Structure 1
Amino acid sequence: MHRYDPQARISIALKITIVNQFYPPDISPTARLAASLAEHRAALDDRVTVIGGQGYLGSGQSHARICPKQNVDEQKVSWRSETESDSNIHVHRLWTPKSGKRTLVHRCLDYFAFYFLACLTIARLPKQDVVVCMTTPPLIAGAGILHKLIHRTTRVILWNMDCYPEVAERSGIIRSGGLIDRLWKWMNLVIGSQLDHVVCLDDAMQQIINARPRADQIPKSVIPNWEPLAEFPLREVKHIEKQVQPPFTILYSGNMGHGHCFTAMLSAARLLLEKESSIRFVMTGGGIQSSKIQQRIKDERLTNITFMGYVSTRELRDIQSQSHCALITLKDSMLGCMSPSKLHASLAMGLPIVYLGPAGSSVDETISHFGCGVSLRNGDVNGFVSAMETLAKSPHLQQRYSDAARRSFESNYCDQKNLKSFDAVINATAVISDRLEISRDAA
């Protein structure tokens, strides 16, 4: 793993492009992260371009932009995209069919539209110093490589949110060793050979990247995702802690996709009902498994589970403030393939973490290091129920976990710390680009 001096800065403003299908007002975690990085670099006087889609906005509700600084002027441009200018940030919002995530076909329609228009857009941009590509859609780093082929001194950073094709392969969407799998891995090899840096979210993810052919030739860093410290003032979190009332509430918020396992949670809810426990669950968000979860809740009459679906950020904060702990799940097969983003806001709110998943994940290591909750393995229903009953009966233990959760957020998962780490990667990569340009000019 490469480490850079967080204080490193270069003397000129950089031209930076961030590529991700989601960008505010979409409420997805990657949209918020892309906006956070864009606004931070713009505040450093860099000229930031964002290539993003129109998003889904959760359940169709309207949500405000994250951290809007000025009124945004919009104008229609070719291929039905929109261009927005906000201070030093220039956003190309590309048209997509908005087919949604109901099936793989619907998802691929949006992906292919975004691929095509993103490549057209980035090819028309003037030379960028650094292009930061996320992984929605998968392989979108190819757009950054296209710009690098046109402008050879551009540097490309892959901000790896999920590992593909490993996610698709391990969730059964594609066959391991099949044609799609082999083609995907070949494209990873081609794109990877042109990358200048890879940012992974945790050590387990870096191990998967390192296992790929020729991956040892690519510099890598581990930078966890984050939440803005300013959105979670400590005084408000402390005020909320004093107001949380019974019954003991376990919150699951966020994605219910292929990477998460809900069998133990639903079985535990059934067992708690049979024991006439007052412990209850609240679920927000959605995903490929959400309809099956709702059907099971209905069929088994799990009245201690409230399923709320997608909610706005403000609504989620209200729900978090009324919850006693946060539940995070991860399938064993997904270790390293993804890193649950719901961890960071939960820690920021001072919520104790209850984890059901494999050892060695970022969540498991955070709990082990900071003592901010309970880490259990998938399938341990009795252990889960016992841990929740113990926690529900012990306000002192809840407070201890809560204080540790907040400490871990401030030291490891807030923007003020992790954006500096990202600055070090961008600046060091841009310095390499600058030196290459000087050497070419000298030649």
Structure 2
Amino acid sequence: MKDLAGRFSSRGWRVTVLAQGAVDAPHEALAGVAVVRSGEPGGRRVPGGLGYLMALGGLWRAAKRLPRHDVVVTMTDPPMLASLGPPLGRRWGCGVINWSHDLYPDLLPVIDVKLTDAAMASLRWLALASLRRCDAVVAIGDCMAARLARDGVPASRIVTIPNWADPVVAPVPWSGNPMRDALGLGDRFTVAYSGNFGLAHPLDAVLEAAADLAVRAPDVMFLLIGEGRGLKRIKSALDRMALRNVLALPWQPAANLSVSLGAADLHLAAMDARAEGMLVPSKIAGALAAGRPCVLLGPAGGAAAKLLTENGCGEVVAPGDATRLATVILAHANDPSFHRAARAKAAAAAALWSADQAADAFLALAAAIARPARSGPRLVGRPPPRSLAAGGD
């Protein structure tokens, strides 16, 4: 959202970002972009389903206080946020885009949120009814676009715009990398999982592969970098297994992202097989931008898998197949020429898509569906309007 908001602003749009949280919460200033919070000073989040409902209510109340915008963009966290887009579009008489990063409520069982069949059916009806009333639905992968179309969202309104790597990420030479030096990695082949430890990102096979290689190839090192709701379970397993070849590290500052991603030789991404078409792990884009190949523990038919296999910059392993994962890691660690070729292909694949290209696609879409104040039918191809409201957690 930050990347797009800044680029919309530089093209003459007035951008408001509506987010959950205390109204006095600090945020990074971005020229031409206003950030509005939905909560109260000192407010705190309530966990679980009640917290999601409270978040939606707070975002709706805050949205109603905003001045009119020409386009509304809803995202997908908190779940069901898309349901607020069409009512806000009617209130303002403006265009509505839903930017789908995760498909809810279908994803809820995958992240172990248990609802009755009746509740799931009601939420699914609400979600699809909301998406069908949007002027456009942006999917972040062809697999997601296909699922949306199967669910009944008009194909003419679905636009696929993949996510991109953080523009600050660039390849950093392996030798002399300050993070490698600080961690004392030396010349050890290093594998990293860097990002969100979510409940839809199963990592059991990573820990099993690390335990296997701790015996067979003790010089191979694993870095687990990040946070998330699944981290507590991971740390508990690490304490129990006492693996000497695994380091768990916190989120790294954005300014250090290139160095952090470049500290590894090979990256990992994970995705529950049941989530195919419901999400696309965006950490792959960061790994490729750092010039590092990536192994996806996930389904072979999704957009992420195709990105890796079609460009020769990674492999796909079934989510629970620790034996195969260890074999792939050793293939890279034991064959420097093979690994160098994969690194070159990773950098080439990353160059195919950027934040600027994605912004051009979003700008064209927003201009096509925007409705200025007191307009009649939407105008396609007109000069850009001047205001966009984007909502998310």
TM-score, L = length of structure 1:
0.77
Which of structures 1 and 2 has the larger relative contact order (alpha carbons within 8 angstroms, sep 6+)?
2
Contact between 1:134 and 1:158, CA under 8 Å: does it hold in 2?
A: yes
Pick closer, same or farther for the CA change 1:384–1:189 going to 2, 3 Å.
closer
| Structure-1 residue corresponding to 2:169 | 232
Deviation of 1:85 (Å): 7.7
Contact between 1:84 and 1:93, CA under 8 Å: does it hold in 2?
A: no
Is the aligned partner of 1:52 residue 2:52? no
Deviation of 1:162 (Å): 0.2
Is the aligned partner of 1:192 residue 2:131? yes
| Structure-2 residue corresponding to 1:334 | 275
SS in 2 for 1:169: coil
SS in 2 for 1:226: coil
| Structure-1 residue corresponding to 2:358 | 418
User: Which runs of structure 2 are paired with 1:66-215 in the superposition (5 Å)?
Assistant: 87-95=31-39, 99=44, 106-108=47-49, 110-152=51-93, 154-175=94-115, 178-212=117-151, 214-215=152-153
1:373-411 per-residue CA deviation (whole Å, 9 max, x = no partner) reads 222222322221121112112222222111111111111
Distance in 2, matches of 1:49 and 1:273, equals: 50
| Structure-1 residue corresponding to 2:330 | 389
Deviation of 1:274 (Å): 2.3
1:291-326 per-residue CA deviation (whole Å, 9 max, x = no partner) reads 111111111211111111333223443332221111
Contact between 2:6 and 2:30, CA under 8 Å: does it hold in 1?
A: no
1:232-272 per-residue CA deviation (whole Å, 9 max, x = no partner) reads 35xxx2x5244465211100011121211112111111111
For structure 2, the 5+ residue unaligned runs are 178-185, 379-393
1:125-180 per-residue CA deviation (whole Å, 9 max, x = no partner) reads 3321110111111122233222222123x0100000101011102333124x6122
Q: How many residues align?
A: 369
Pick closer, same or farther for the CA change 1:355–1:439 going to 2, 3 Å.
closer
User: Which runs of structure 2 are paired with 1:1-80 in the superposition (5 Å)?
Assistant: 34-54=1-21
| Structure-2 residue corresponding to 1:376 | 317
SS in 1 for 2:352: helix
Deviation of 1:417 (Å): 1.6
User: Which runs of structure 2 are paired with 1:343-362 in the superposition (5 Å)?
Assistant: 343-362=284-303
Distance in 1, matches of 2:263 and 2:377, equals: 59
SS in 2 for 1:111: helix
Contact between 1:84 and 1:90, CA under 8 Å: does it hold in 2?
A: no
Pick closer, same or farther for the CA change 1:439–1:218 going to 2, 3 Å.
closer
- 1:150 corresponds to which letter in structure 2? R
Contact between 2:76 and 2:101, CA under 8 Å: does it hold in 1?
A: yes
TM-score, L = length of structure 2:
0.86
Contact between 1:42 and 1:89, CA under 8 Å: does it hold in 2?
A: yes
| Structure-1 residue corresponding to 2:348 | 407
1:49-104 per-residue CA deviation (whole Å, 9 max, x = no partner) reads 1111348xxxxxxxxxxxxxxxxxxxx7xxx789998542222123267756xxxx
| Structure-1 residue corresponding to 2:385 | none
- 2:367 corresponds to which letter in structure 1? N
| Structure-1 residue corresponding to 2:183 | none
SS in 2 for 1:45: coil
| Structure-2 residue corresponding to 1:59 | none
Task: Output the aligned Cα RMSD.
Answer: 2.6
* Range with bigger deviation, 91-100 or 254-263: 91-100
For structure 1, the 5+ residue unaligned runs are 1-33, 56-75
Pick closer, same or farther for the CA change 1:130–1:439 going to 2, 3 Å.
closer
Distance in 1, matches of 2:39 and 2:51, equals: 9
Distance in 1, matches of 2:110 and 2:123, equals: 14
Contact between 1:321 and 1:349, CA under 8 Å: does it hold in 2?
A: yes
